[in-house]
A and B are shown apart, each in its own frame.
Chain A
Amino acid sequence: MAATAVPTLVLIGHGMVGQRFLEALADRGVTERARVVVLCEEPRPAYDRVQLTSYFSGRTPEDLSLIDPDFMARHGIELHLGDPATAIDRAARTVTARSGLTVAYDTLVLATGSYPFVPPVPGADSAGCFVYRTVEDLLAIEEYAKNCRTGTVVGGGLLGLEAAGALKGLGLRTRIVEFQPRLMAVQVDEGGGSALRRTVEEMDIDVHTGVGGKEIVAGGDGAVRAMELSDGSRVETDLVIFSAGVRPRDQLARDCGLAVGERGGIVVDERCRTEDPAVYAIGECALAADGKVYGLVAPGYEMAATAAATIAGDHEAAAFTGADTSTKLKLLGVDVASFGDAHGATPGCLDVVYADSRSGVYKKLVIGADGELLGGVLVGDAESYGLLRPLTGTVPPLAPEQLVLPAGAGAPAGALGPAALPDDAVICNCHNVTKGTIRSAVSEHSCTTVPEVKKCTKAGTGCGSCVKALTTLVNDELTAGGVVVDQGLCGCFPHTRAELYEIVRTRRLTSYAELLDGHGRAEARGGDGCETCKPTVASIIASLAPTVGADGYVLDGEQSALQDTNDHFLANLQRNGSYSVVPRIPGGEITPEKLITIGEVARDFGLYTKITGGQRIDLFGARVDQLPRIWARLVDAGFESGHAYGKALRTVKSCVGQTWCRYGVQDSVRMAIDLELRYRGLRSPHKLKSAVSGCARECAEARGKDFGVIATSNGWNLYVGGNGGADPRHADLLAQDLSDAELIRLIDRFLMFYIRTADRLERTSAWLERIEGGLDHVRDVVVHDSLGLCGELESLMAAHVSAYRDEWADTLADPDRLARFVSFVNAPGAPDPAVRFVPERDQIKPDLPLLSGPTLPVRTLADAPTASGTRTLEGTATR
């Protein structure tokens, strides 16, 4: 039956479902036995279309990619980018592509997805009319929007709202036109629709419902000017996005005579096979055996698994008979979820509704005649979605009224947890993972952390909405298995760093001992603490010093005993016991006089000098007893501490910017200096770095920083959560086109919120990834003030800024404080003989042979005087 020597499988369409299908083929070893050819219409391999809109918040098309760079090569798959199939000849079993390439197939799989439906209104082909489906669409919209002031989205469904959010983010005055009487008519009911509408309108997006676009009016240049609506009104607009639903891309199938549904979709059976046994269709282009076309990715993934299993000859694997269309989305920052029989279509069902129009919350549960939960709609607060959806079809353990009440308003806290769910409840809808599977990942596959369980089961790696329930389940299961899941900071405190911060702040504690004795673990109270919590608490007290009434100087009294050696000597310990000195050079700008001073100090003290990666100069090789004299010279010349030793603000790098650079659009140097001077000395959970670039060319590498600023012609864009180091991460866009004052206010809030909630040694990047709700939540808090915290965050920062003093100047001014800077307590003048250097490239380096010195283990010498003992000594000495 084989038409070719090696069986050939051709896949048309490399979208989300196509890629999942290839992965399933590879898992089943089919790629080893067969030649696999993929025809991909788009110029790039499969990417995460679900997250498409995140392109506008800074994710690059590469970030969105769904494939490992070597996936195709590893499995010997031939991928043809930008070469769509144009014809199928079922009799000859060949597929022809636009380039003329013709491939003979034994098996053909169609995964061509959908196309956006553009209503046939006159003028819909004018310049400035777009659809919203691919990366290329978004690139085109972004480019065109640069010259626009207003934009209109036709369609108020899920995608329409996303597109409206994107236009808003691009700075356009935005309007949504929806033909239905409410927004998201498919997912939510009337009550939910109006709650949603209120919230959307509050974001300054105009909403017109119950009207359609009648005509697009173009100017003489063929570009959109306005839109006429079905109610006779006319709205001015420079750009239009059509988001009026999608249609299956079934034209190829139609052309080769395969059956398609009345409203489109390639007809397939429960094994995703068309009437031609050699041809399959999966994903959005297929009309499934239950008569539905699914426009969501999870059902598509199930079809991919079914088709791959069938092709691999596994007829036992699950057939695709239909899927749950529950969804939880965050649209424009509003949680929207619907599941089960959301519209109450079941005969005899009743609604239980909770609505609070002030806060834009609307929740409805549909309850069956026997009290079973049939479905529901949640708008504005979809917290309970992860728990309610799996309960669908069962009688919930609580009265329905209690299920819709907000936490704290009569809902018994914790009464309804994932613990209440049966093992076959699906926790992760995206990957169809049940509670039982998650539990056995812990109990049988010995996963002990949430990331391990995610990796093992794939749960939580899609939309992320199940992560909270997943975490609870994993912890419950670990606890049940006798593993104590301890969130405490260390052996001394049962609290997290964020909790300790709250305790210190609210109780205004200024002493570590008091905190340990009052809030430590029973066995640690009255003790000496440890090397983990001492610097952590020292940092918390320092961050809050002006607010709780502690001394801002980090080396006085008890505080001095809590600091790591770097903070203790206000310098960085090097491998041979010497220290390095980094004066602050704000923004990297320095006068020739100051450069000369640094050079002279380095020369006079014999220090090794190096330009750092942070646009400043590091002086290495100082002995403890030299530090005060070095700093006396530097402070005299106007330098101050650069805090290279502290978990504190390090540098704010800058590019040369508008003043000199032909491309610059703002004065990036001035802004970098302002920011560095504002936040200098700020102690935080980990070090903080920043940079300011004068234009989008980004010479200061701001997107690799904890907070990075990039100039635009209208102001500044603020990016947060960037990181270099071992696990690099590009910063995400937090807000756009800010004025100087807006920028500083937002950074104040962001930093203080981070300091308040991060774990010990958690950089902003890791914090942003970990914190529940991620960037959206942080934006809600610091931009939209959703927790009502902004005033307090700003005043904490104001207190820091006004209390700042240079630590080195303070230290030099006080003989008691200087007393610690000796190598030996019993010989204050003596230099440390163990700190030695040898020359290298005209400077010095530590004399390292000394380090593996003669006294290594005394113990071994005494114990083992024999010949065999000598070998032991060698072995030990190489340590």
Chain B
Amino acid sequence: MTLAVSLPTEQRPDHQEDSHWLPVCDRSALTPGRGVAALLPDGGQVALFLDRAGRPYAIDNRDPFTGAYVLSRGLTGSADGRPFVASPLLKQRFDLETGTCLDDPAVSVPVYRVREIN
């Protein structure tokens, strides 16, 4: 089972429809609760996670508070039933489904759609 990601249309700066799914890695490359980073063709980076139930998530790897590409190395958890990752640098938490920062709702990171392909 391969995981593939795609940036939702509404988050694309040009709002262009794009149905291209980028295969990233085999599901088995991920440990639940631990992220990995993947390189995108445009040089961007995406952080992928699996939660305990095996659901995949993908958000931008760039920590908006420090500018470092490190979100994939944060620890995940759930708060009020919502999955999040805490940045390993200054520990701000980001909702894995919406990209919103739980500690400062004015800040968010782009989220990617993620699905399994064969």
Contact = CB atoms under 8 A, between A and B. Distances in A.
Check if A and B associate: yes
Interface of A: 491-492, 513, 524, 526-531, 534-535, 558, 560-562, 564-565, 568-569, 573, 575-577, 823-827, 830, 832-835, 850-853, 855-859, 861-862, 876, 879
Given A824-B37, A834-B45, A853 B67 contact: yes
A565 B52 contact: no
B48 A575 contact: no
A858 B88 contact: no
A526 B79 CA distance: 12
A825 B38 contact: yes
Contacts of B74: 531, 565
Contacts of A852: 67
B1 to A, nearest CB: 14
A834 B69 contact: yes
Interface string B1-25: 0000000000101000000000111
A858 B39 contact: no
Interface in B9-58: 11, 13, 23-25, 29, 31-34, 36-39, 43-45, 48, 51-52
A857 B44 CA distance: 14
B34 A561 contact: yes
A775 B29 CA distance: 49
Contact of A527 (B25, B39, B52): B52
A535 B75 contact: yes
Nearest to B67: A851
B77 A824 contact: no
Contacts of A823: 37, 39
B116 to A, nearest CB: 15
A573 B31 contact: no
Contacts of A577: 68-70
A824 B38 contact: yes
B73 to A, nearest CB: 4
B34 A568 contact: yes
B66 to A, nearest CB: 6
B9 to A, nearest CB: 12
16 contacts: A529-B33, A529-B78, A531-B75, A534-B33, A561-B33, A561-B34, A565-B74, A568-B34, A575-B89, A824-B38, A825-B38, A826-B23, A834-B69, A851-B67, A853-B67, A879-B65
B91 A851 contact: no
A565 B34 CA distance: 10
Contacts of B67: 850-853, 856
Among A528, A577, A832, A859: residue with most chain B CB under 10 A: A528
B25 A826 contact: yes
Contacts of A851: 66-68
B108 A826 contact: no
Contacts, number: 118
Nearest to B44: A855
Interface residues of B, number: 46
A830 B39 contact: yes
B117 interface: no
Closest 5 A/B residue pairs (Cβ)? A851-B67, A530-B77, A561-B33, A531-B86, A825-B36
Contacts of B43: 833
Given A564-B75, A565-B70, A826-B38, 12 more contacts: A527-B52, A531-B75, A531-B77, A531-B91, A534-B75, A826-B24, A827-B38, A827-B39, A834-B69, A835-B69, A857-B64, A857-B107
A353 B116 CA distance: 76
A19 to B, nearest CB: 44
Among B32, B34, B62, B67: residue with most chain A CB under 10 A: B67
A265 B105 CA distance: 69
Contacts of A855: 44, 62
A810 B11 CA distance: 44
Interface of B: 11, 13, 23-25, 29, 31-34, 36-39, 43-45, 48, 51-52, 62, 64-70, 73-79, 81, 83, 86, 88-89, 91, 93, 106-108, 110
Contacts of A531: 74-77, 86, 91, 93
A825 B24 CA distance: 7
B42 to A, nearest CB: 11
Contacts of B77: 492, 527-531, 534
Contacts of A558: 33
Contact of B70 (A573, A857, A876): A573
Contacts of A876: 106
Nearest to A830: B39
A38 to B, nearest CB: 50
B73 A530 contact: no
Nearest to B25: A825
Contacts of B13: 858, 861-862
A832 B69 CA distance: 9
Contacts of B69: 577, 832, 834-835
Contacts of A832: 37, 69
A527 B11 CA distance: 29
A513 B52 contact: yes
A527 B52 CA distance: 7
Given A825-B48, A858-B11, A573 B89 contact: yes
Given A826-B39, A852-B67, A856-B64, A528 B76 contact: yes
Contacts of A856: 64, 67
A561 B32 contact: yes
Contacts of B64: 856-857, 879
A527 B78 contact: yes
Nearest to A491: B79
B88 A825 contact: no
Among B66, B69, B86: residue with most chain A CB under 10 A: B69
B102 to A, nearest CB: 11
A528 B31 contact: no
Nearest to B30: A825
A53 B68 CA distance: 53
A277 B92 CA distance: 66
A858 B13 CA distance: 7
Contacts of A575: 66, 68, 89
Nearest to A624: B73
Nearest to A533: B77
B68 A834 contact: yes
Given A529-B77, A825-B36, A852-B67, A573 B108 contact: no
B103 to A, nearest CB: 12
Contacts of A859: 108
Given A535-B75, A833-B43, A528 B51 contact: yes
Contacts of A853: 62, 67
Contacts of B110: 858
Contacts of B81: 527
Nearest to A569: B73
A433 B68 CA distance: 53
Among A527, A824, A825: residue with most chain B CB under 10 A: A825
Given A529-B78, A857-B108, A858-B13, A565 B33 contact: no
A569 B74 CA distance: 12
B38 A576 contact: no
Among A531, A564, A576: residue with most chain B CB under 10 A: A531
A851 B83 CA distance: 26
A564 B89 CA distance: 10
Contacts of B73: 565, 568-569, 573
A524 B29 CA distance: 26
Nearest to B99: A859
A531 B94 CA distance: 12
Contact of B33 (A528, A827, A830): A528
Contacts of A529: 33, 77-78
B56 to A, nearest CB: 12
Contacts of A850: 67
Contacts of B39: 823-824, 826-827, 830
Nearest to A826: B38
B39 to A, nearest CB: 4
Contacts of A513: 52
Given A513-B52, A857-B64, A859-B108, A530 B79 contact: yes
B79 A560 contact: no
